Amino acid sequence: MTAIVLRRTGELLLVLLALSLLVFLPTSLAPGDPAEEILRRGGVQPTAASVASLRAELGLDRPLFDQYLRWLGAMLRGDLGHSYTDRSPVAAEIFARVPATLRLAGAAAAVAAGLALLAALRLAFRPRALDSRVLALVTVAIGGIPPYIVGILLISVVAVGLRALPTGGDGSAGAVVLPALTLGLTGAATLLRLLRADLAQALRLPFVKFAAVKGLRRRRTIAVHALRVAAPNAITAASLVLAELLAGAVVVETLFAWPGVGQLAVAAIRQRDLPVVQAYVLIIGVATVLLLALTELCLSAFDPRLRRR
């Protein structure tokens, strides 16, 4: 187990280093000069002298590799830089909004896991029933619809038509319901497809068939034996869905005016505030990599077959 942890740690460090390059280079090489944008937003007409002075102040006149090393060193120290817009610390802006994003992602993950598990068990218990077939078709349909379309439909029907829930913001206890449903329904469709396939494969295993031959009821066979076999893949799928929820929160937070990190990132992209954009993408990428690595280590600890592999 120790060897696995050490090897995975080395691989994780290499992945994070590659991630830092993928975050820094595209944003730094994007068209336009951040110094000119900052001066124009401040109501100052850019001149060659003012642009050169501001570029020197921001360190943009240094070679690209030197900029990357300075940026990476600052990231490792926890210094995410300062916003180009108001010169405020990026770390303070982001971490002030992290609780809202985590609350939304947690609620969406609960919706996705709960709906997917209930639907998968229903499809396994009665695969040929009419309601099961309708459920499968609805799942495929929802999985093919972009989250913002689902969100617009929920706002139109639930918030505007029925006036049952607020259309956005974070001002009431029910404000999280619609954005969580928007994210959770898409995640549930993905998770259900994977869990349904794993359950179908588990039901064909010899010991599961033997349990049914012994007279064990189908519901108990699925719940006790087949679901336990499908659990490792379901956990992996759930971690992937959770990572998608964190990344997909950008669109949903903007649509519902949810005061999370995603909404801050969208505003930073519009204003070409590179430190905020880089910090957001890096944090989401690191969270995704660490989540998948933790999932793999947990599965390796509980499944001897994975340790042998």
Provide the residue ranges of all domains of the chain, joining segments of one domain with +: 90-308
Average pLDDT over every residue of 193-215: 72
Q: Which two tokens stand for residue 231?
A: 């659990």
What does the angle CA 168 – CA 171 – CA 175 come to, to the nearest 5 degrees?
45
Q: Which residue has the tokens 């950008």?
A: 250
Q: How many helices and strands (H and E) does the chain possess?
A: 14, 0
pLDDT at site 62: 85
- Judge whether residue 211 has pLDDT over 70: no
Segments of the chain assigned E as strands: none
Work out the percent of the chain whose per-residue pLDDT is above 70: 87
Beta bridge partners of 89: 82
* pLDDT averaged over every residue in the chain: 79
- Judge whether residue 61 has pLDDT over 60: yes
pLDDT at site 286: 86
Q: Which two tokens stand for residue 64?
A: 């690209």
Query: What's the rounded Cα separation, in Å, for the pair 20 and 133?
Result: 45
- Judge whether residue 220 has pLDDT over 60: yes
Q: What superfamily would CATH give domain 90-308?
A: MetI-like (1.10.3720.10)
Query: What's the rounded Cα separation, in Å, for the pair 105 and 32?
Result: 34
The whole-angstrom distance between residue 278's C-alpha and the CA centroid of its chain comes to 16
Please give the model's pTM, rounded to 2 decimal places.
0.79
SS3 for 45?
Answer: coil
C-alpha radius of gyration, the chain, whole number: 24
Average pLDDT over every residue of 39-50: 78
Average pLDDT over every residue of 10-31: 81
- Judge whether residue 222 has pLDDT over 80: no
